[in-house]
Amino acid sequence: MNIAKGLGALSLLLSTMVPSANALAQEHGTTQWIVTTAKATGHDGEQYESVLRVLNLSPYDAPLRLTFFPQTSLNASRSAFGDPSAASTVDVVIPAGLKVAFWDALGLFGRTAGAGAIRIVSTGTDPQGNPIPVSASSMTKTYPAGPESYAPVTGPLIAAQGPDTLVGAGEPAAIPFLWLGGDDLNGAYRSNIFLASANTDSQTVVRLTLVTNGNVAQESREITLGPLTQTQINNVFFYFDFVSFCPPCPSVDMGPEEVRVDVSVLSGGPVAVGAAVIDELNGTSVYVPAVKRATP
62: Cα separation from own chain's centroid:
23
The CA distance from 18 to 183, in Å, is 52
102: Cα separation from own chain's centroid:
17
**Phi-psi domain of 170 (left: phi exceeds 0; alpha: psi -120 through 50; beta: other):** left
Cross-strand pairs, 274: 194, 289
Q: What is the rounded average pLDDT of the residues 61-83?
A: 96
Q: Which helix (H) or strand (E) holds 282?
A: none
Does residue 1 belong to any structural domain of this protein? no
Residue 2 has pLDDT above 90, yes or no: no
Does residue 50 belong to any structural domain of this protein? yes
Does residue 186 belong to any structural domain of this protein? yes
The burial class, CB within 10 Å (0-12 / 13-18 / 19+), for 33 is buried
Q: What is the rounded average pLDDT of the residues 21-40?
A: 68
**What confidence tens digit (pLDDT) does each residue in 132-176 have?**
999 999 998 888 776 655 667 777 899 999 999 999 999 999 999
End-to-end CA distance of the chain: 51
Does residue 92 belong to any structural domain of this protein? yes
Residue 190 has pLDDT above 80, yes or no: yes
Does residue 127 belong to any structural domain of this protein? yes
Does residue 192 belong to any structural domain of this protein? yes
Domain around 165: 12-292
The CA distance from 254 to 296, in Å, is 40
Which of 56-65, 127-136, 145-154, 196-205 has the lowest average pLDDT?
145-154
Does residue 102 belong to any structural domain of this protein? yes
Number of domains in the chain: 1
Residue 182 has pLDDT above 60, yes or no: yes
Other CB atoms within 10 A of residue 247 CB? 6
Dihedral over Cα of 256, 292, 67, 56: its sign:
positive
Whole-number mean pLDDT of the chain?
Answer: 83
Residue 256 pLDDT class (50, 70, 90 cuts) = confident
- The model carries a pTM of 0.84
Position 4 scores a pLDDT of 36
Does residue 160 belong to any structural domain of this protein? yes
Residue ranges in the chain assigned as alpha helix (H)? 21-28, 236-239, 242-245
